[in-house]
Chain A
C-alpha cells in the first residue's frame, strides 16, 4: 500500500476542502474557464497595474525595464515593482499557455490556497483533530470582505503572504541542517515579493523567541542558534535582494511618510475604509475565536505549538493599526485578508475541546470539519464578481489595439469602471477626470485645457539607472507630467467615448457633446458600436473645440 487508511481519509478531506476553495474561488471568478480573451478577476486599479506589469515582462522577456509603451516611449524606465511575482507569472504564462493576466490572476489564489494549506499543516503537526476543524474556517477566504484582496488585485500581498507563511513554517523546522540557506532564500523571496512582509517575518522571530522566553521554554543555546542562523539567512537574503533594494530605495522609500505617527483607525472608521474585521467572520465565529485565544494560554503552559504562536502573531499584526504608525496602517489591514487561515487554529480549539469528550475517532473530526465547512459555505458564500470590463468595452479595447498605431496618443472620456482598467490598454492612454467633465456639464462650455490623468507606469517618475545605486527620476528632471494635470484636449491622436452608462448617464451626455464638437473640427469617426465611438484627430494640436 502506498498510503494507509488514515492517510486516505486525510487526503480525501484535503481534496474536498481545497478543491472546493479552488472551485468557488478562482473557478467561479474565471467562469470555470482557464483562458480568457479579456481580463477577469480584477475589479480595481492595483490588479490592472500588475496585469500590465506582468504583460510587460511577458513581452520584453525581463524585468529590468518597463516596456516603452508603458513608459511614454522611453525604453530605460527601471522596472521598480517587487520583481518576483510578475516574473513568476510571466514565466508561468509562457509555460502553461495562459495569457499573462490569466496567469497572475490564477497564481494569486493558488498562492493563497497553498499558504492556507501550510497553515493547516502547521496545526496538524500539533493536533490533527484541531486541524480538521480549523480548516473549515478557510471558507471565509471567499466570504464577506475577505474577498477584497482578490477583487482589488492585491497580488503582491498574496505572494508576500505565501513566502511569509512559508518562512514561518520553516521557523518551526529548526532541526533542518543548514537552516539558514532555505531561510535566506525565503526571506529574499519575501523582500523581492512584497517587502513589508519581511518586517513581519523578523517580527515573528522576535515574537517567537519572546513567547518561548515568557513561558520559560527558551534555552541559551536556542537563543544563540537563532542569532547565528538569522544573521546568516539575512546575509543570503541581502545578496539575493540587493538589486531590488537599491531600486526600492530610490523608487518608493520615504522614511518621513512611512514612520510618522498618525491617527489610529478605530472601529467606527471601518465602514468607510472597507477592510475586514473579526465581525466579517460572523459573530458566532468571532466568539469561538475569542474562546480559542483564551484556551491557547492554557495550552501554552504545557507546550508551545508553533501553529499557536504563528496564529497569535498574525492576529496581532492584523490589529496593529491601533498603534497609529502609518507604515502599519495599510499593511496591518492587508494581513486581515488571510485572517481566515491565520487564525483558523483559534476557531478549531474550542470546538475540539467540547467535542473530544464525545468523539474519539480522528476520522469523525474530519467529517465534523467538512460539515462545518459545508454549513458556512451554504449560509454565507456568494460568488465574487468576475472583473469589471464588460464585453462591449473590451471589444473597444481590442479595436484600439488592432487598428491604431502603436505610438498613438489616446484620450478616453468617461466610461463605467474605466478609471480602474483603462491603464491596461497597450497604448499611451489618458483619461479625462470625472471632476473635469462634471465642471463642463455645470458650466455648459468646454475648455481646451482640462484635468487629465495619464497612465504610464509612473510611481517612480520614469526613473532610469545611472549606476548600481544611483537613479534619476526623468519626469522630475525633464518636467514631464506623469500624474493628473492640465493637458490640451486637442493634443491627442484618438478619442474614445462611451455611449452608455449604468452609473452616470449625465456624463455620457458630456461625451456626446464633445464627440459632436470634435466631429466639426477635423476629426473623423473611425469606429462606432452601440457602446462607444472612436474618433481620429486629423489636426493634432490644432483647434478642436471653438
Chain B
C-alpha cells in the first residue's frame, strides 16, 4: 500500500498538473476568462484524472503508468455509468459531478484492501 509520503507527493504532482493544464488552456483559449478556463480544466480533472488516479491506486505500476491506465479506464467507466444511469432515468445534468465520486470511492476501497506497493513518482 502507498505510504502517506508517496501519496502526498503524487497528489502534489496532480495539483501541479492541474495548474499546468489550466495555464495551457488559458494560453490556447486566451479570449475566455480565467474562470472559464479553470472550470473546463477542473471538469477534465474531476471527471477523468482524479477518479482515474484513485482507480489505479491499487496497481503496482509506477505513478505515470498508473495515471495513464487510470485515466483511460475512467473515461470508459464514467461513459458507461452515465449511459446506464441515463437509461435508468437519472438526468445527465449531475452525472459529471456525482459519478466521479463512485470511481473515487471504488478506487479508495480497492486501495485500502490491496497489499500492492506502487512505485512512487
- What residues of chain A have their CB less than 8 Å away from a CB belonging to chain B? 2-3, 15, 18-19, 22-23, 26-27, 30-35, 57-58, 61-64, 83-85, 87-88, 90-92, 94-98, 106, 110, 114, 118, 121, 162-163, 166, 169-170, 173, 176-177, 182, 185-186, 188-189, 192-193, 240, 243
Contacts and interface: CB of A to CB of B under 8 A. Distances in A.
B68 interface: yes
Given A19-B27, A64-B87, 5 more contacts: A2-B9, A35-B36, A57-B92, A163-B75, A189-B76
B96 A192 contact: no
Contacts of B71: 114
Contacts of A162: 72, 75
A104 B9 CA distance: 33
Contacts of B68: 118, 121, 169
A319 to B, nearest CB: 27
B92 A94 contact: yes
A96 B40 contact: yes
Interface residues of B, number: 53
A467 to B, nearest CB: 15
B59 A176 contact: yes
A57 B86 CA distance: 9
A181 to B, nearest CB: 9
Nearest to B86: A62
Given A62-B87, A182-B73, A188 B36 contact: no
B96 A87 contact: no
Nearest to A241: B80
Interface in B1-58: 9, 12-13, 16, 20, 24-25, 27-32, 36-37, 39-40, 43-44, 46-47
Interface in B61-111: 61, 64-65, 68-69, 71-73, 75-80, 82-83, 86-87, 89-97, 99
Contact of A84 (B25, B59, B83): B83
Given A15-B24, A169-B68, A97 B96 contact: no
6 interchain residue pairs of minimum CB distance: A95-B96, A62-B86, A61-B91, A27-B28, A189-B76, A166-B72
Given A22-B24, A27-B28, A95-B97, A34 B83 contact: no
A36 to B, nearest CB: 10
Nearest to B64: A121
Nearest to B91: A61
Given A23-B27, A84-B83, A35 B72 contact: no
A544 B12 CA distance: 70
B6 to A, nearest CB: 11
A19 B24 contact: yes
Contacts of B29: 27, 30, 32-34
Contact of B75 (A19, A27, A189): A189
Contacts of A177: 59-60, 116
A91 B72 contact: no
A107 to B, nearest CB: 9
B13 A2 contact: yes
Contacts of A26: 28
Contacts of A90: 92
Contacts of A97: 36, 39-40
B84 to A, nearest CB: 8
B28 A19 contact: yes
Contacts of A34: 25, 29, 32, 36-37, 40
Nearest to B41: A96
Nearest to A240: B80
A139 to B, nearest CB: 15
A165 B23 CA distance: 27
A188 B87 CA distance: 17
Nearest to B36: A34
Contact of A62 (B39, B73, B75, B89): B89
A2 B121 contact: yes
8 contacts: A84-B83, A87-B86, A96-B43, A97-B36, A106-B40, A114-B71, A162-B72, A193-B79
Contacts of B27: 19, 23, 27
B43 A87 contact: no
A91 B75 contact: no
A33 B86 contact: no
A524 B27 CA distance: 49
A94 B72 contact: no
Contacts of A57: 86, 92
